[in-house]
Structure 1
């Protein structure tokens, strides 16, 4: 069982990480892209936002496809498109072309975010699903640790275009793993019951499911806090604090270490206290820590070590929030796991995009506006939890408790 868990965690984690790898490896390149393509900071950030937009919206397409066609075929389609779009990004000669191919790249990458979650739900529920999800996230978290460092090295030797050749190679490796190491987990008889009409019906059921929507929002604002940091940190840490791309990559990776290390406690804590209780505790710590960060920095302590310390603790709590909300949201929807995973991802990334746009309106390359945007997302997640799950139990099945 342990070897099977680990094998699936590695395969699914790597497939899930292909899209984020194209984000994290890309971050140290942002200032260089602007200089090379004669584009301003806002235009360069649009290439990041275009990826997020398609990455969010097209998850809702892959979910029903994976229910109707099985899990593997839509993964082939998505990763194949990602590979082609990566080549287009590497060859782009202006910012407009880069933004367009980043949009296509996000469409392809969305498959890797949706379908592995559905595969987890195909195989397990409750605490067992949480254990597999946390192992998957351990592999997934390699991306924010290694990708910026790898990106810095690639940029040093090959320039920013080398980043896209590197993610193309990662996608090709993903295709090989998909074809040789992953079995189909959606049986044919289950696929026969799925159609476009059933997908629309499934989305209607999910949108009316209070527990699903609440858990999606909590996880969504948690992810949004990290993506606000992701979009703004290259300019704050490199331009304001004066870090080199390599130093920035190390600083960025430290938060990922906190995130994935704490996430590995999900299964143990869930079996001991119940996933809902773990989630409540984690959201509380997450919100309080990042709210305190803004208070301290607003009082004049806006040094990099202060920012880094609060983010390290806050994103450690986030390492419990994301797997617990994901497992709990899918717990009662095994028959429509693909559609549920797709809507979960779309809702979460739409929340993140809105948060990134709002944060961009106040962005000044100074640390405090970025910290305020990060903390606002965490506080909203905490408030939603207190107003809903904090007041009465979420009915997500005995396995969750």
Structure 2
């Protein structure tokens, strides 16, 4: 195989690995009503399976990095994908919501390695000058996946069964596993000097948490982004049950709102040429708080309606597309040697707070979307309070340095969602 073909194959493998995470989160959302009916429970209870997935991502991100360094890239990838496939098949066979919730946690643990490994493999294999190009291709996939996944999932659920979503996820992972086993050559040999003992890992995380800048902006970003996870968890009920839209229409609505988040994150790179990261964070969090309370008032009174609700949530997510990359950049800015620990802890905090927000949407059984709006509004307000208090203890960040990092973080945004 020529060098060019090898490069194309490797990028294709990295693309498959990158897509597994967002598809695992978004593709099954249109199936919530059907799952609730088949498992004899409520949509709010089914939403706990999303919370358990986020918890699994939170835990898994903290351990995936050290495992990939200690045992190389290939072996953890194979184990993670096998675990993911087994859990996905288990989700097809479940008869209770409790089993689904537990298996989604296991599925997330297997998924974590596929989220962390592509970035590490890119740095292992490609020349430094090509890193940005390769990562840009992967980030493009991350950006498109949250739009395609629910739309694709809505058609699967509309014409087949919700279990088929997990069959498709298992097949995607199986194809990826075969590619890793037969086409991927180990990019970094195992390093036995990397410690997997809890104390050194926890000490590193503790040192990061003690930094006022990390603590402030990591929690501001995590709390503000919790509104996204509340929306992810509550959107099937909000649109398909409360507003009565079809499964396919729900997929289209989800795509429109996701486009706002992705588009604004790209606009952030332009804004950074004129404004500092601190200015953008303050402005976007303030706007998020205002829009969140507009959403709460509109839903409580019934003034907004379907189209008004879509428009307000779209604007809300536009503010998140600005605040998220900048809070991430400002969080990791004080670190050099500990950048890996800071990045892992940042991701874990975001997933942990997101899991909490998603779980809270299932606590209330009043058959209205008001609790979802309350959580979204409260997340913005709490983030604003943390920001205003925390900025008193944070030293002024060099504007140019922060802008460079924030611009880079834009290219690594979630997509988790985003993970």
TM-score by length of 2: 0.80
Q: How far off is 1:88 after superposition?
A: 1.6
Give me the whole-angstrom Cα distance separating, in 2, the residues matched to 1:209 and 1:269: 27
Aligned residue for 1:170, secondary structure, equals helix
1:300-352 superposed Cα distances (whole Å, 9 cap, x missing partner): 41411121111111101211222222233233444344433322122112212
Segments of structure 2 that go 5 or more residues without pairing to the other structure are 1-7, 404-419
- CA 1:73–1:133 in 2, change beyond 3 Å: closer, same or farther? same
Distance 2:342 2:171 in 1: 30
* Structure-1 residue corresponding to 2:107: 105
- Secondary structure at the counterpart of residue 337 of structure 2: helix
RMSD: 3.5
Matched with 1:160 is 162
Q: Is the 8 A contact 2:291 2:315 kept in 1?
A: yes
Going from structure 1 to structure 2, the CA distance change for 1:138 and 1:334 (only over 3 Å counts) comes to: farther
The answer on whether the counterparts of 1:9 and 1:139 sit within 8 Å (CA) in structure 2 is: no
Q: 1:370 deviation in Å?
A: 1.6
- Which of 315, 331, 348 lines up with 1:313 in the alignment? 315
> How far apart are 1:266 and its partner, in Å?
3.0
Deviations 1:44-80 (A, max 9, x none): 2232232222222222221332343455543443233
- Tell me whether 1:56 sits opposite 2:52 in the alignment: no
Counterpart of 2:3? Answer: none
1:142–1:82 CA distance, 2 compared to 1 (3 A): same
User: Residues 318 and 341 from structure 1, CA distance in 2 versus in 1: closer, same or farther, beyond 3 angstroms?
Assistant: same
Tell me, in whole angstroms, the C-alpha distance in 2 between the residues paired with 1:157 and 1:230: 23
Deviation at 1:31, TM superposition (A): 1.1
Contact residue 52 and residue 105 of structure 2 kept, 8 A? yes
Partner of residue 294 from structure 1, selected from 293, 296, 307: 296
CA contact (8 A) 1:60 1:342 kept: yes
Query: What is the alpha-carbon distance in structure 1 between the residues aligned to residue 27 and residue 262 of structure 2?
Result: 18
1:253 matched residue in structure 2: 255
Counterpart Cα distance in 2 of 1:269 and 1:8? 34
Instruction: Summarize deviations over 1:74-102 as a string: whole Å, max 9, x none.
Output: 34432332122112212223333323321
Give the drift of 1:222.
2.7
Cα gap change, 1:183/1:381 in structure 2, threshold over 3 Å: closer, same or farther? Answer: farther
Q: Could you say which residue in structure 2 is the equivalent of 1:206?
A: 208
For residues 216 and 11 of structure 1, do their structure 2 counterparts lie closer, same or farther at Cα, with a shift above 3 Å needed?
A: farther
Cα 1:398–1:355 change in 2 (3 A) is same
Task: Give the drift of 1:393.
Answer: 4.4
Corresponding residue SS for 2:245 = coil
In structure 2, the residue matched to 1:3 is none
Contact 2:276 2:399 in 1 (8 A): no
C-alpha spacing 1:157/1:43, structure 2 compared with 1 (3 Å): same
The residue aligned with 1:44 is 46
Residue of structure 1 in register with 2:283 after alignment: 281
Q: Which ranges of structure 1 fall in alignment gaps of 5 or more residues? A: 1-5
Aligned residues: 391
Q: 1:334 to 1:161 in 2, by over 3 A?
A: farther
- Residues 381, 162 of structure 1: alpha-carbon distance in 2 compared, 3 angstrom cutoff: same
Q: What are the within-5 Å matches in structure 2 for residues 1-400 of structure 1?
A: 15-70=17-72, 73-115=75-117, 137-175=139-177, 184=187, 192=193, 195-196=196-197, 198-389=200-391, 392-393=394-395, 395=397, 399-400=401-402
SS of the residue 1:30 aligns to: helix
Distance 1:381 1:286 in 2: 9
TM-score of the superposed pair, with normalisation by structure 1: 0.83
Of 102-111 and 290-299, deviating more is 290-299
